[in-house]
Amino acid sequence: MTDDTWRAGDPGVLRLPSGRLVRGRGLRRPLPPGSTPRYGVYLLGGRPPETDWESCWLRWPDFRLPADRARAREVLTDAWERAGAERVELACGGGRGRTGTALACLAVLDGVPAEDAVAFVRRHYDRRAVETPWQKRYVRGFGRG
C-alpha cells in the first residue's frame, strides 16, 4: 500500500482481504472530507456529474444490473487492479445497492468466494448493501466469469 490509497477507517472505505482499500459512497450525499479519489467508477442510469479526477461511467440503472455486463467486468477488474496503488471509489446515488453489488464483485476478484461476497460487504461496508435478489445473483454469477 502507498500514501496514494485510502486510510482504513475512513468513511465508506472497505478493506478487501488482500489489503486493497476501496471507497464506496452515495452521490446524493456530500463528498466526504479528506482525500479525493484518483479514480472513480460511477454506477448510474445517466451521466454522472463532472469530477476533478479520472472517472468512468458504467451505465447501471437504479435497482437493476449493469446494462453491459462484459464492460462491467472490465471496469470492475480495472478498479480492483488500480485499488492496489490508488484511491479508487465506487459510487451510485445512495451508495448501497449498485455500489454494494460492485464492491461485492471486487471482493470476488480479491478471492472472497462468490457465495460469501454479499455477506462480506454487508459486514464490512454497509449492512444493507446489495438491495435486490437479482443483484445477489449477479454477484454469485460474477464468480463464474
Is pLDDT of 111 > 80?
Answer: yes
Query: Confidence class of residue 53 from pLDDT cuts 50, 70 and 90?
Result: very high
pTM over 0.85? The answer is: yes
Contacts of 113 (CB under 8 A, 6+ apart): 143
Indicate if the pLDDT at residue 2 is higher than 50: no
Q: CA-CA distance, 143 to 99, in Å (whole number)?
A: 17
- Kindly indicate whether the domain formed by 14-142 is annotated with CATH number 3.90.190.10: yes
113-140: pLDDT as tens digits: 999 999 999 999 999 999 999 999 999 9
Rounded Cα distance between 82 and 59, Å, is: 20
Checking 39-42 for CB contacts under 8 A at 24+ apart, the result is 39/79, 39/82, 39/86, 39/87, 39/88, 39/89, 40/88, 40/89, 40/90, 40/91, 41/75, 41/76, 41/79, 41/88, 41/89, 41/90, 41/91, 41/102, 42/91, 42/92
Position 144 scores a pLDDT of: 80
1 pLDDT tier (thresholds 50, 70, 90):
very low
φ, ψ at 92 (rounded to 5°): -130, -165
pLDDT of 102 above 50: yes
Share of the chain above pLDDT 90, in %: 90
Question: Residue 3 — pLDDT band, cuts 50, 70, 90?
Answer: low
Decide: 57 and 48 in contact? Cβ < 8 Å.
yes
Which amino acid type is present at position 130?
V
Between CA 58 and CA 129 the distance in angstroms is: 18
